[in-house]
Amino acid sequence: MKEIKLFLILLFLGLNVYAQKIDKIEPPYWWADMNHNQLEIMIYGKDIAKYKPTIANETIQLVEVKNTENDNYLFLTVDLSKATVGNFKIDFARAGKKNNFSYDYELKQRKENSKFRKGFDSSDAIYLITPDRFANADTTNDVVKRLKEIKINRKDDYGRHGGDLKGITNHLNYINEMGFTAIWPTPVLTNDMKESSYHGYAMTDLYEVDPRFGTLEDYITLSKKASEKGIKLIMDQVENHIGGGHWWMKDLPSNNWVNFQKEYLGGKTVITNHRRTTNQDSYASEIDKKLMSEGWFVADMPDLNQNNQLLANYLIQNSIWWVETLDLGGIRQDTYPYPDKEFMSKWAGAIMAEYPNFSIVGEEWSTNPLLVGYWQKNAENKDGYHSNLISSMDFPMQKAIVDALNEDETWGTGLVKMYEGLANDFSYSDPKNIMIFPDNHDMSRIYTQLGGNLTKTKMALGYLLSLPRISQIYYGTEVLISDAKKPGDHGLIRTDFPGGWEGDTINAFTGEGLSKNQIEMQSFLKQVLNYRKNSEAIHSGKTLHFGPEKGVYVLVRIKNDEIVAVILNKNDKEINLDVSRFSEVGLNGRKVKNINTSEEFIWNNSLKINKKGILILTTKL
């Protein structure tokens, strides 16, 4: 009996010694048969660098072992080009010590056709969601004691409200019926920050789902259920920075893991100058360029040094790991101009090499089309920069649409802003792969930007959903969520979706308690999105538009027999629109249908328009 006890104690001690050796191993697993088959494995554990790792396996070769200035990290490069599915053993030995151990590293089987997964494109309408504010399906995960922010308070705009991944999964029917074909939830990985952790952009563990949003299983389930409905899941990733609470920051892997590391360790934070044009400017000074790219985005978001090759590999693998694990239909990359731009080209290139039909959209918040277009694949850039990015975001057109609708009609103001904004498409290598949106999680709500005007909001949405673009709409736009109380306030922009919480008196999922205007907006958007879903003219048709005259602007999309004519009218009084100017479209004598009212008529001579607003007409009856 005594001996058994002693044995158990020794066994316990033995396990304990083993457990202390490796605290983290990342990526936690990989797959056989990947294009990326030179895998860099980061191992973290007390004094792990004092061990010599070996792999005794015929199909797997340990190519390189790298140490850094910190003995608690070890980086192994393994060649998996001949590897097969299953576990392989990594043996760790330390001279003169008895506590040698080994680790079983798993190589999973890839999903069939994983390589050829399709990303989003101009046939997609993406629903952007702030998960904390959409729907709370599981109140048991609202508070997680081991994390720093441990309360939820729906009255605090910057506090956590309890929304989660299951909340999105439970409402996929609604999203599908609205006519969306993809979802982009803002980041849901762990943000163990003291405050404002709800927004997700201060990640403190790049391999862990924030338990307040659910589990990795919940995330996979969301992807699977969405995919069953033909809805793609887009993941929001951040290569530029991490949250100050990231576990790396307590024990930095090397002397140059984050930018301005020495200053940070000396108690000083160097913030970026946000001069994003330094990426393109031929006259930019070195000091401006360095501060732009290496300065921290904000004080509690350490800026990653992608010139450190170990970190660069880590980040690329992390992105691929999530694509494969979640079966993603796209990536949205945050703050695209801020990381090292050569790294970003490699990053996007590595993902596209792994998944040739995939899509990535990068955020360049600029209203200058030249800057937006610079990042798009095949752009002919003067500095020779080659980007592997399929899509960047259309902030220029977003602003043009808002200005066009808010300004009075004169020769140089009003609808002409849309007309001339779209004319800038000649500067993009591939305009239909640029992403258009009326607003997003960082901007004032479109309804607020348009002065709380329902007609203008319909005009903006109907127009942008007809453009040769990938389209994205922020959750709650359909029920006119407003931040008019404090325009631009982030917490307010990310207001709770009505009906997402038990006991909500207004429920946008069921329509209960919605105002007349909210119902009108929701049904308008539903009609437009569902028409768009099957409209080849909108997905990939020819684009034609006519200079605004007398407060009317006409945009046409044409593919084979389908002609879609979008008429924006800013006149308050009834008008008779002479359609002879549009004869080159080929609509004369053809029957057209209003996609919202289903009213049908023959396109001839003049068109009576009795009120301000938008008409979307199609030849598809």
Report how far residue 126's alpha carbon sits from residue 465's, in angstroms, rounded to the nearest whole number.
Answer: 11
Number of H helices, E strands in the chain: 16, 25
Cβ closer to Ca ion: 497 or 553? 497
Nearest distance in Å: CB 165, Ca ion: 9
Q: Residue 447 is which amino acid?
A: Y
CA distance 283 to 262: 29
121 vs 218 by CB, closer to Ca ion = 218
What's the length of the chain? Answer: 621
Question: What is the residue whose two structure tokens read 């105002």?
Answer: 515
Q: Which is nearer to Ca ion, 164 or 364 (CB)?
A: 164
Least distance in angstroms from the C-beta of 480 to Ca ion: 25
Write out the E strands in 139-295.
182-185, 232-233, 235-237
The single residue listed with the structure tokens 């020769």 is: 411
Output 220 or 284, the one with its CB closest to Ca ion: 220
**Minimal distance in Å, beta carbon 131 to Ca ion?**
9
Using the minimum distance from each CB to Ca ion, give the nearer residue, 53 or 162. 162
Task: For the CB of residue 466, give the shortest distance to Ca ion in the complex, in Å.
Answer: 37
Question: Whole-angstrom Cα distance, residue 39 to residue 28?
Answer: 12
Residues 431-490 that bind Ca ion (CB under 5 A): none
SS3 content of the chain, % helix, strand, coil (to 5): 30, 20, 45
Two tokens, residue 473: 């709409």
The amino acid at residue 222 is L
Residue 143 Cβ, how far from Ca ion at the closest point, in Å?
Answer: 9
Segment 127 to 186, residues that bind Ca ion, using CB under 5 A: 136, 138, 141-142, 162, 164
Residue 60 token pair: 């797997």
Q: Give the nearest distance from C-beta 215 to Ca ion in angstroms.
A: 12
- Set 205, 324, 363, 394: catalytic member: 363
On whether the CB atoms of residues 212 and 204 are closer than 8 A, the answer is no
Q: Which is nearer to Ca ion, 164 or 425 (CB)?
A: 164
Please confirm, yes or no, whether 600 is among the known catalytic residues: no
Residue 483 neighbours by CB distance under 10 Å? 22
HSE of 407, CA atoms in CB hemisphere, 13 A? 16
Alpha-carbon span 525 to 532, nearest angstrom = 10
Q: Out of 192, 239, 334, 496, which one is annotated catalytic?
A: 334
Per the annotation, the verdict on 334 as an active-site residue is yes
Binding map of Ca ion across residues 501-530, x = CB under 5 A, - = no contact: ------------------------------
CA atoms of 342 and 381, how far apart (whole Å):
14
Catalytic sites, residue numbers: 334, 363
Give contact residues for Ca ion (rule: CB under 5 A).
136, 138, 141-142, 162, 164
